[in-house]
């Protein structure tokens, strides 16, 4: 059988891993196969207009998108035939999401894709992995765009930071403070509204929420209790761990920030496994959900671009493009480890680095009511966290970032030829953090994980008063920088805040009234 290499499927060991041996040949797993979409040129034309700020084509309904751009029936049939040849079972098939989920054993997948799955240990986890590339039969060349889930290493980390009980290492302020999400919204001048009629999707890759905690939290805020529902993706469920320092902290922070800012919006939490397949499947499930129909997706998980395969990043970016054409805004946290993203050298976090996502960076906010007395880049030193940001090594600079420069902390500025991160910012410093409730305990949390849901809640408020959702808004924001509060002080390690866009806080934090007018 003639085989071809699946473009972008190259995988290496997770740094610091130790090879244990071959994976159990009889162990069962599920793999997501992503196929090409129909009418790709027409879709790209529509996306190109959106990225230029041209909304004349309007938003596609989910039903129209599926009719025009779902997977071709012949391509899906070709994947089914491939599965049959190798004894694999098709457990799910989603034409609108272009995804076929196959089930089988390690031995069967090894033979089907020309790989050798192995077992690894790592200081933070054990995982099933592979190295090298994936091989496809020649008849699937160009049909299949990604094969995800063979490797089940944790793909992303949550971007929240609990307060450590001491003042900032950056010495930006001498006394720690905290705010309710509504107080932050007031400081930023959010337009009036409750998010009524909107649905906000939240992507979670672990942990869970306890309804009793949400009831207690929102009753204390006296904003009413929002409707919160959970959707299972790839067998993951709402599963609280009971530890505020674990993924529950992420889940509760996201829900409580969105729910406080937009209490009349419906909140739907999509729980998925923390793998490349799970992450993508959660996003596509939310984007194509014809029942809940979210107009905003909030994502507070991510990982350095260097930890992703290019096939996975391309597939996720394609999912965000689809969301944009359906009028869905995707807000993504830019990370909590400054310019390094927790590695050596400069790295940006994905999926915040997707040009079709709104990358959300972090600030340290001092405010009283609607008066902001100080706002600088969040940077609490090497042990305390800082706003993620920098320049992508994978995505080229989109047209709306033309003319912007990344200013280095050591001096000098370089024009962007690759995608700059983030686009916008908001309060993220744990020392000026958010009052939340997690697993029965009231605490204070920060991180860019709080900024993505803050922006999601803001957009839900704005959408409430729009005929159609604002959808992809990056081009509009870059064309109306007065809609944001420019942050010009501080750094995130290797990058310095500057007038206009910078690789620490993007265009800045919300200027609510001006932002609402611009959109």
Structure tokens, 364: 């340290």
How far apart (Å, rounded) are the C-alpha atoms in residues 394 and 355?
10
CA gyration radius, the chain: 22
Residue 466, pLDDT above cutoff 60: yes
Q: Which residue has the tokens 């400054």?
A: 338
CATH class assigned to 169-479+486-518? alpha beta
Predicted confidence band at 341 (pLDDT cuts at 50, 70, 90)?
A: very high
Q: What pLDDT digit, counting tens, does each position of 139-175 carry?
A: 999 999 999 999 999 999 999 998 876 444 444 455 7
Assign 112 to helix, strand or coil: helix
Tell me what pLDDT residue 171 has: 45
pTM of this structure: 0.97
Q: What is the DSSP string of 124-143?
A: TEEEEE--B--EEEGGGTTT
Return the pLDDT at 264: 97
Segment 381-394 shows an average pLDDT of: 94
In angstroms, how far is CA 413 from the centroid of its own chain?
28
Give residue 169's pLDDT: 43
Catalytic residues: 250, 254, 449
| Strand pairing class (18-22; 118-122) | antiparallel
| pLDDT for 167 | 45
- Measured in whole angstroms, the distance separating CA 406 from the mean position of its chain's CA atoms is 22
The tens digit of pLDDT for each residue in 97-118 reads 999 999 999 999 999 999 999 9
Sorted by where each begins, the domain ranges of the chain are 3-36+71-148, 169-479+486-518
């Amino acid at each position: 059988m003639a085989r071809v290499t699946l473009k972008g499927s190259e995988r290496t060991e997770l740094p610091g891993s130790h090879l244990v041996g071959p994976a159990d040949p009889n162990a069962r797993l599920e793999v997501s196969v992503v196929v090409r979409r129909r009418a790709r040129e027409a879709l790209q034309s529509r996306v190109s207009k959106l990225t230029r700020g041209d909304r004349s084509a309007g938003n596609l309904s989910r039903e129209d998108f599926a009719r025009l751009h779902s997977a071709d029936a012949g391509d899906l049939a070709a994947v089914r035939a491939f599965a049959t040849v190798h004894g694999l079972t098709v457990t799910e098939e989603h034409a609108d999401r272009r995804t076929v989920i196959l089930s089988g054993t390690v031995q069967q997948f090894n033979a089907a894709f020309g790989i050798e799955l192995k077992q690894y240990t790592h200081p933070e986890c054990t995982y099933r992995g592979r190295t090298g590339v994936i091989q496809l039969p020649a008849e699937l060349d160009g049909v299949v765009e990604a094969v995800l889930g063979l490797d089940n290493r944790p793909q992303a980390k949550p971007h929240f930071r609990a307060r450590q009980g001491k003042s900032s290492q950056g010495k930006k302020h001498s006394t720690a403070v905290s705010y309710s999400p509504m107080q932050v919204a007031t400081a930023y001048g959010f337009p009036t509204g409750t998010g009524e009629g909107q649905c906000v999707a939240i992507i979670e890759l672990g942990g869970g929420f306890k309804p009793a905690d949400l009831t207690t939290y929102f009753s204390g805020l006296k904003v009413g209790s929002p409707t919160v529902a959970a959707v299972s993706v790839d067998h993951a469920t709402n599963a609280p761990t009971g530890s505020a320092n674990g993924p529950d902290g992420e889940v509760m922070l996201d829900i409580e920030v969105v729910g406080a800012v937009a209490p009349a919006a419906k909140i739907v939490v999509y729980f998925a496994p923390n793998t490349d397949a799970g992450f993508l499947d959660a996003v596509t499930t939310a984007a194509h959900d014809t029942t809940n129909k979210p107009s905003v997706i909030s994502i507070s998980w991510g990982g350095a671009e260097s930890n992703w395969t290019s096939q996975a990043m391309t597939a996720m970016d394609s999912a965000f493009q689809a969301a944009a054409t359906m009028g869905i805004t995707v807000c993504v946290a830019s990370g909590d480890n400054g310019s390094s993203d927790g590695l050596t050298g400069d790295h940006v976090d994905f999926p915040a680095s997707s040009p079709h996502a709104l990358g959300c960076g972090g600030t340290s906010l001092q405010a009283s009511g609607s008066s902001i007395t100080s706002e600088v880049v969040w940077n609490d030193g090497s042990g305390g966290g800082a706003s993620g940001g920098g320049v992508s090594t994978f995505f080229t600079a989109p047209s709306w970032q033309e003319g912007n420069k990344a200013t280095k902390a050591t001096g000098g500025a370089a024009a962007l030829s690759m995608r700059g991160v983030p686009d916008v910012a908001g309060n993220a410093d744990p020392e000026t953090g958010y009052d939340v409730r997690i697993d029965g305990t009231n605490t204070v949390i920060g991180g860019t994980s709080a900024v993505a849901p803050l922006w999601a809640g803001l957009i839900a408020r704005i959408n409430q008063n729009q005929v159609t959702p604002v959808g992809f808004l990056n081009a509009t924001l870059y064309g109306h920088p007065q809609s944001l509060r420019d942050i010009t002080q501080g750094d995130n390690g290797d990058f310095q805040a500057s007038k206009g866009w910078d690789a620490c806080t993007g265009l800045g934090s919300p200027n609510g009234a001006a932002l609402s007018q611009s959109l």
